[in-house]
Amino acid sequence: MSRALTQFLASALAAAAATALSTGALAQTAEPAPAAPAKEAAPANGNIAVVNGTPIKKADLDVVIRQIKQPDTPELRKALTQKLVELEVLNQEAKRRKLMQREDVKFQVDNAARQTLIQALLRDELDQHKPTDEQLKAEYDREVASKSGEKEYKAHHILVATEAEAKDIIAKLDKGAKFEDLAKGTKDAGSAANGGDLDWNAPEAYVKPFSEAMTKLEKGKYTATPVQSQFGWHVIRLDDTRPVTPPPYDQVKSHIVETMQQKAIKDFVDGLVKKANVK
């Protein structure tokens, strides 16, 4: 069975699998199910059905079950076998109508096969060039070194719709009003309940006008003039700063693997394109 057909079947059979599992669950409420259901014995000829002379192999059913990643039970196999029969009947009817001769159908089939083949190629490339622990640790150390000296900022803010409102808030702060009390009226629903508290973040977490104003403040000070962004007008108070603490290696290892794999695939594709004779 081709990978394209396998993936198509896996998608098409998901509903059948869900139905089979649901039926199994209902049956368990009526009477206890055995601890480990025995799998049906394979037919002697290795086929689970023959549709108009075309065999459906048990091996194909096994592949589909692995693809959908559901518990392998006799009920599931029965439901999927029926669905495979239905799909084969439809496949034969499509061939009888010679739909593959239609340009739109041929393009879609060819494109699906091409995409499946490309995905297999990229998986194969990654399997052949898995990063070693030494490479992963080196990439982690490089990332940590690149962030050396960077800071995180703990800030509060009040967001309003107009500059006039923001100026009024600053005037009230100048007269001794408590920032957290005024922040209860902020447009930022996410921080309103916390008195405008934005917790600890790197400057990159904010839009540019906000981060530029925040990083220029002294600890404990608020912006003397309103700061405009696409969200409205901000009054910002800087509470504290601290050096960026890198997360432990084990915590970000999977992310490093993903990043390195993405780069490896890009380099692989770029290399093939560069060597190709494209006119």
| pLDDT computed for residue 36 by the predictor | 36
3-state helix, strand, coil in the chain (%, to 5): 60, 15, 25
Strand partners, 197: 156
| pLDDT computed for residue 1 by the predictor | 46
Q: Which H or E run includes 160?
A: strand 151-160
Question: Angle at CA 118, nearest 5°, toward 64 and 10?
Answer: 15
Q: Can you give the pTM of this predicted structure?
A: 0.58
| pLDDT computed for residue 147 by the predictor | 85
Rounded CA gap, 8 and 255, in Å?
A: 30
| pLDDT computed for residue 185 by the predictor | 87
Q: Which H or E run includes 125?
A: helix 103-128
List, by residue range, all CATH 3.10.50.40 domains of the chain.
Answer: 150-243
Domain spanning 150-243, CATH class: alpha beta
User: How is residue 279 annotated by DSSP?
Assistant: -
Rounded CA gap, 111 and 201, in Å?
A: 44
All residue ranges of the chain with pLDDT < 50 are 1-6, 15-42
Strand partners, 238: 155
| pLDDT computed for residue 195 by the predictor | 94
For the sheet containing 151-160, what is the strand order?
Answer: 197-201, 151-160, 232-243, 227-229
